[in-house]
């Protein structure tokens, strides 16, 4: 009898496998806590800060050029869809095209760096780290803008774009930059928050990353918020066609939107993200 009881109390291999599977499931569910999301982004930022400047430069120029796809995508919808109230919501899906290629392609986009490179600075708040962050920001921003102007010149002064799309591209660009400096600054804050939120969500998005980027960048366009790099393509289109002078572009659009994106991405979202994990890391 005692022997039978002992045998009945033995742990079966099937029970062990179930426990292991259950433990793995728990780990999978817990592995993307805020603390670990922070660590993924911090390491990514640290890796970016250690890259050669020439690599950042070329990646930034490519990203600026590719962001031109956002203007093309919107223009295609606007040109070929009937003029109905629903067109506005649909055409803004085209705005996501540039972001999808740049973010999934791991190119250097300035507004992503308002969170990825700031988290390493929060973890190591030294003058040397601050200098590295400022240097990366300056290189990537300049490269993005150069790429945006290359795209603008290519679109408007070559035969690469079908003529029927050009009026829509000009119309979209004028509408995007038809803001006062104050309004441009305020509209840029939500855009900065949304881009930082995308970066924060991507580590746990995995196979849904495409839809995360699509939905939240569509929201930037549909909400008529201002993004410094996508807007720089529209700014470049107006400058190279003589519809906007350089001084007005810099003072009326570029600097206010840049400041707003930094406030939204760094001063608001990144600081909140850091605040929730600072005592755990």
Q: pLDDT digits over 138-183, tens only?
A: 999 999 999 999 999 999 999 999 999 999 999 999 999 999 999 9
pLDDT of amino acid 240: 95
CB–CB of 115/237 below 8 Å? no
Q: Which of 27-31, 96-100, 217-221 has the lowest mean pLDDT?
A: 27-31
pLDDT of amino acid 8: 47
What is the Cα–Cα distance from 171 to 163, expressed in whole angstroms?
14
What is the Cα–Cα distance from 222 to 168, expressed in whole angstroms?
17
CB–CB of 64/144 below 8 Å? yes
pLDDT of amino acid 28: 54
| Three-state DSSP state, 123 | helix
The crossing angle, in degrees rounded to 10, of helices 181-205 and 255-262 is 40
What length does the chain have?
A: 281
The crossing angle, in degrees rounded to 10, of helices 53-66 and 68-80 is 10
The backbone region for 224, taken as left when phi is positive above 0, alpha when psi lies in -120 to 50, beta otherwise, is left
CB–CB of 88/222 below 8 Å? yes
Average confidence (pLDDT) over 244-255: 93
pTM, 2 dp: 0.86
What is the Cα–Cα distance from 231 to 249, expressed in whole angstroms?
11
Q: Which of 15-29, 33-47, 162-176, 225-239 has the lowest mean pLDDT?
A: 15-29
- Return the beta strands (E) in 85-208 as ranges: none
CB–CB of 270/118 below 8 Å? yes
Residues 6+ apart with CB under 8 A from 78: 87, 91, 168, 171, 172
Q: Which of 4-13, 68-77, 125-134 has the lowest mean pLDDT?
A: 4-13
- pLDDT band at 15; cut points 50, 70, 90: low
| Three-state DSSP state, 143 | helix
| pLDDT(93) > 90 | yes
What is the Cα–Cα distance from 236 to 170, expressed in whole angstroms?
11
Average pLDDT, the chain: 89
């Amino acid at each position: 009898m005692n022997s039978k009881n002992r045998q009945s109390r033995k742990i079966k291999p099937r029970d062990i496998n179930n426990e292991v599977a259950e433990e793995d499931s728990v780990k999978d569910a817990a592995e993307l806590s805020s603390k670990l999301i922070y660590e993924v982004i911090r390491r990514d930022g640290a890796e970016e800060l250690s890259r050669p400047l020439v690599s950042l430069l070329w990646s930034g120029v490519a990203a600026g050029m590719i962001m031109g796809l956002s203007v093309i995508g919107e223009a295609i919808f606007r040109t070929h869809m009937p003029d109905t109230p629903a067109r506005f919501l649909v055409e803004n899906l085209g705005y996501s095209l540039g972001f999808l290629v740049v973010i999934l392609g791991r190119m250097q986009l300035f507004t992503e760096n308002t969170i990825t490179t700031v988290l390493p600075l929060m973890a190591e708040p030294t003058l040397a780290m601050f200098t590295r962050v400022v240097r990366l920001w300056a290189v990537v921003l300049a490269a993005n803008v150069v790429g945006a102007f290359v795209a603008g010149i290519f679109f408007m002064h070559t035969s690469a774009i079908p003529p029927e799309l050009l009026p829509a591209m000009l119309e979209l660009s004028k509408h995007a930059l038809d803001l006062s400096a104050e309004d441009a600054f305020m509209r840029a804050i939500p855009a900065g928050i949304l881009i930082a939120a995308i970066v924060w969500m991507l580590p746990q998005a995995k196979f849904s990353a495409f839809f995360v980027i699509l939905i939240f960048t569509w929201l930037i366009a549909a909400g008529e918020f201002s993004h410094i790099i996508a807007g720089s393509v529209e700014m470049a289109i107006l400058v190279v066609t003589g519809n906007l002078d350089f001084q007005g572009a810099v003072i009326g659009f570029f600097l206010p939107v840049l400041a707003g994106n930094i406030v939204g991405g760094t001063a608001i979202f990144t600081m909140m993200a850091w605040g929730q994990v600072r005592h755990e890391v």
